[in-house]
Structure 1
Amino acid sequence: MAQEKPKVDFGGALRFNYNLSSWKPEQKRRGGDFGYDMFRVNAVATYQDIYVNAEYRFYSESFGGGMLKQGWLGYKFNEMDEIQLGLTQVPFGIQQYNSHNWFFNLGYYMGLEDDHDMGVKFTHAGKKIEYHLAYFKNAEELRFGNDSAISHSRYSYDVAGNNKEVNQVNAKLSYKFGNFLESRAGFSVQYGGLYNINTAEMGNHKGFALHYEFDYRKWNLKSEVMLISNNPENETGVSDEIISMAAYGAAYDVAADFNLYTIAVSRDVPVNWGPVSNLQFYNDFGYMQKQNVSFEDSFMNVTGVGIKAGNLYTYIDYAAGYNHSWLGGNFVDDFAEGNPDAKWEARFNINFGYYF
């Protein structure tokens, strides 16, 4: 019998970005900045029930340069069950995204949305019940030194500095129900170690999430509650109330223990405006409640519209943040101690992306 030939599909995207930020006076005098965002290459190769899925991204050097967003070897047992090995998405909360906008929702900045780590994951996607079981040896490792901190050149946020994520287990269960209101409700749990390079001691981190999502005609709603705790074994004099997290070439501090509440709603409006076929209006909100009462809480809200015109997709966003590292204030510790005298800051952003 003739052997089935392997099949390879390539794709990618090229994106440009315009932004105007309230906390940048010189930029406001220029009328904002317009420039390069990202170029990416996607590849999916299949042979019978074995496949490879990979995505590599190229950002500017100041945003981390080149990085592998995801990449895994997969095997499909049947239409519902498969296993993935490699840099695969962590099954925690609503997937693939808990947001509709270009900025994601607040949890992304703590490694809780579209996070990818190195490990193995089993997925069962039934008509009513969906569950994921996973073990992650560590976050994506690029240095392989005896006592090397993780590289900051990464797509998704991971614990950085003197602590490293190791031996993490995840479980996620979702139940699909409803005809008039198509709903998905479920919960996620995760537990793993935090190895401290300086003390050679093992701390831990854990998380629990409840999530609910529904689709009704042209409407979509995503909602989550997350309880997050990090317990590092730091050296004397270093606070256990703060952890360092990194992505896009830079690190910042995050409160070790917090609750996160998010709600995101969208409405599709089909149109027939030349190449434009759909408008998606949305508002995505996130609230980070820090457990240390001396820390100032963080907020984020993004209002915008996504415009689909063939393979061109454009996000027009007004992103506002309070004690948000990427939206004004002090980048280093807004998500940790914060500033009680902080103001809400905002960024008007237009992202143009051609996907092929």
Structure 2
Amino acid sequence: MKRKLLGLAVAALLPLSAQAQQTSVSQDELDSVMEQVRQLQQQVKALQAKLEQQQSSDDTEPSSKPDPDKHTIDRVSVSSQERREFIDARLGELEEEVKDAQNPPIRVGGAVRFQYVYADYDADNRDRAGDLDFDLVRIDFNGEINDVILAAQYRWFQYMEAVQKAYVGYNFTDHWQGQVGIINVPYGNIPYNSHNYFFSSNFYVGLEDNPESGINFQYRSKDWDWDIGFMKGDEQGGVDGFVDSRADRYAYDAVGIRLDGEGIYDAPSLQVAKSNYWAVRGARKFHFADGDKLELGLSTQIGDLHDGNDSVGDREVYGAHARFNSGPWELMGMVSRYDFDTDVANQGIVTGAYAYFDTMPSAATLYTANVAYDLPVNIGPVSALRFYDNFSLMSAKNGLEDDTFMNVLGMAVSAGGLYTYFDIVTAENHPFVGGTMGADGGQTNTRFNINFGYYF
């Protein structure tokens, strides 16, 4: 009887094991593989229980004569034990294969984006009832191998290509992480001081989502955030970096000093770059009984300006930020003051980004105030809506009288891999809205913008 039971159990298990060995663990078949794993586990447990029950019966049942099948039964038991060990080992291998398929060491993703623009300050655009254009293609690499982290993103536009980040990292403890490479400089509300497609005005002076080349030590706990970074220079390698154009970059950065007689959008004749500067950010996080959260923080950046041969001045930045979350609501605020103290007389600082040059004041104060509301929905593929209003103001500009402001009223829509911004932008003296931060006399302009992208 025992031999028959073992034979049936092993015969039932072996085909499943063989099938499991041949199963591909591609993403589409993970559920099938896991079901086989569960079946194998259940049958191994059942076999073990029956063997133990019968072994117990053999030990307690009285026998008056030797059992002629005893040695045969022992041989079958040994064989079944070996097979169970093999099956257990195979189960472990299958589970590891499933985990690897679900969580590959380096995950590759990206996005494809398009944009519709209607601008009241562009007569040709108005005549065409706006324009629909390709925006970008991007590729992302994220993950870790043997505890060493990789994070990188590269973007292709119609008119340029640029790196957004590219760094390696390591978690020294549960709280401390080190990063080296092209990293986003820690400053203020992170990762963004805004909810809309256009960021806040901080982005256009290099104080939001700004990549630089350097090293950062990051501390994260329930109650505290700390970032201590040292930046060698910008993501292009400074003034003597091997690039076609210093304006081909993802985020705005200082690339020159605007001398007398140069136009607002001219390439700089005196090129400069940020060099050897410290970036320190600290934030205290408060958690309340009803689930509300409050973050208050301070940030600073202090360092050198270099023309490739010599230092031509220094740069200081100070900021205070706040973020409050209550249920679906999020409120953010920030104040920043920056100052480029140069050794030469100037009409401002030349900035470069998105394949063109612009000008910003050498010193100014910026204020931002943002509110957003998240609404989960179930409308076909649409799963979430975010409504927001983001306001930015730049004042106390060195050498200029007129302020810069930008208000973005909008909605973001999540639908599967598709994420879409609907923005109404009202601004004065602001880049991308018919103006510049580096001159007086701008008009108030309006831009209706739809940016939709598929993220994978």
TM-score by length of 2: 0.71
Q: Is 2:443 the partner of 1:348?
A: no
Q: Is 2:366 the partner of 1:264?
A: no
Q: Is the 8 A contact 2:400 2:440 kept in 1?
A: no
- Once the two structures are TM-superposed, the CA of residue 75 in structure 1 deviates from its matched residue by 0.6
| Residue 183 of structure 1, aligned match among 272, 289, 294 | 294
2:424 alignment partner, SS class:
strand
Q: Deviations over 1:283-325 (max 9, x none)?
A: 0000001333643110000000001111111100001110112
Call closer, same or farther: CA 1:174–1:187 in 2, change over 3 Å.
same
Q: Is the 8 A contact 1:313 1:354 kept in 2?
A: yes
In structure 2, how many angstroms separate the alpha carbons of the residues matched to 1:55 and 1:148?
Answer: 18
In structure 1, how many angstroms separate the alpha carbons of the residues matched to 2:216 and 2:321?
Answer: 20
Q: Is the 8 A contact 2:181 2:214 kept in 1?
A: yes
Q: Match for residue 208 of structure 2?
A: 113
Q: Match for residue 154 of structure 1?
A: 249
Q: Is 2:377 the partner of 1:279?
A: no
| Residue 210 of structure 1, aligned match among 320, 324, 327 | 320
2:124 alignment partner, SS class:
helix
Q: Is the 8 A contact 1:305 1:315 kept in 2?
A: yes
Q: Is 2:349 the partner of 1:243?
A: yes
Letter of the 2:280 partner, please give it.
A
Q: Match for residue 27 of structure 1?
A: 125
Call closer, same or farther: CA 1:284–1:66 in 2, change over 3 Å.
same
Counterparts of 1:276-355 in structure 2, within 5 Å, are: 276-292=382-398, 294-329=400-435, 334-339=436-441, 342-355=442-455
Q: Is the 8 A contact 1:219 1:268 kept in 2?
A: yes
| Residue 174 of structure 1, aligned match among 278, 283, 290 | 283
Q: Deviations over 1:131-181 (max 9, x none)?
A: 000000000125873999971111111111221110010110001103233
In structure 2, how many angstroms separate the alpha carbons of the residues matched to 1:195 and 1:150?
Answer: 18
Call closer, same or farther: CA 1:148–1:24 in 2, change over 3 Å.
closer
| Residue 16 of structure 1, aligned match among 105, 111, 114 | 114
Q: Deviations over 1:89-129 (max 9, x none)?
A: 10111110000011111110111110110000000001101
In structure 1, how many angstroms separate the alpha carbons of the residues matched to 2:244 and 2:446?
Answer: 33
1:101 alignment partner, SS class:
coil
In structure 2, how many angstroms separate the alpha carbons of the residues matched to 1:292 and 1:85?
Answer: 34
Give the unaligned 5+ runs of structure 1: none
**Structure whose residues are more often helix by fraction:** 2
2:125 alignment partner, SS class:
helix
- Once the two structures are TM-superposed, the CA of residue 229 in structure 1 deviates from its matched residue by 0.6
Q: Name the stretch that deviates more: 131-140 or 244-253.
A: 244-253
Q: Is the 8 A contact 1:142 1:150 kept in 2?
A: no
Q: Is the 8 A contact 1:227 1:259 kept in 2?
A: yes
Larger Rg: 1 or 2? 2
Q: Is the 8 A contact 2:118 2:130 kept in 1?
A: yes
In structure 1, how many angstroms separate the alpha carbons of the residues matched to 2:298 and 2:209?
Answer: 16
In structure 2, how many angstroms separate the alpha carbons of the residues matched to 1:136 and 1:147?
Answer: 18
Q: Is the 8 A contact 1:165 1:194 kept in 2?
A: yes
Q: Match for residue 101 of structure 1?
A: 196
Q: Match for residue 172 of structure 2?
A: 77
Q: Deviations over 1:207-252 (max 9, x none)?
A: 0100000110100011000011111223xxx41x511111111111
**RCO (CA 8 Å, sep 6+): is it higher in 1 or 2?**
1
Q: Which runs of 4+ in 1 moved over 4 A?
A: 146-150
Q: Deviations over 1:31-64 (max 9, x none)?
A: 1000100110001241122111100000111xxx
In structure 1, how many angstroms separate the alpha carbons of the residues matched to 2:218 and 2:237?
Answer: 27
| Residue 196 of structure 1, aligned match among 295, 307, 326 | 307
In structure 1, how many angstroms separate the alpha carbons of the residues matched to 2:310 and 2:383?
Answer: 56
**Structure whose residues are more often strand by fraction:** 1
In structure 1, how many angstroms separate the alpha carbons of the residues matched to 2:324 and 2:156?
Answer: 34
Q: Is the 8 A contact 1:196 1:232 kept in 2?
A: no
1:84 alignment partner, SS class:
strand
Letter of the 1:123 partner, please give it.
Q
TM-score by length of 1: 0.91
Aligned length: 341
In structure 1, how many angstroms separate the alpha carbons of the residues matched to 2:410 and 2:392?
Answer: 15
- RMSD of aligned Cα (Å): 2.2
- Once the two structures are TM-superposed, the CA of residue 326 in structure 1 deviates from its matched residue by 1.4
In structure 1, how many angstroms separate the alpha carbons of the residues matched to 2:244 and 2:255?
Answer: 7
Q: Is the 8 A contact 2:429 2:439 kept in 1?
A: no
The sequence identity of aligned pairs, in percent, is: 32
In structure 2, how many angstroms separate the alpha carbons of the residues matched to 1:27 and 1:16?
Answer: 17
In structure 2, how many angstroms separate the alpha carbons of the residues matched to 1:45 and 1:221?
Answer: 31
Letter of the 1:251 partner, please give it.
F
Q: Match for residue 60 of structure 1?
A: 158
Q: Match for residue 223 of structure 1?
A: 333
Q: Is the 8 A contact 1:86 1:118 kept in 2?
A: yes
Q: Is the 8 A contact 2:296 2:322 kept in 1?
A: yes
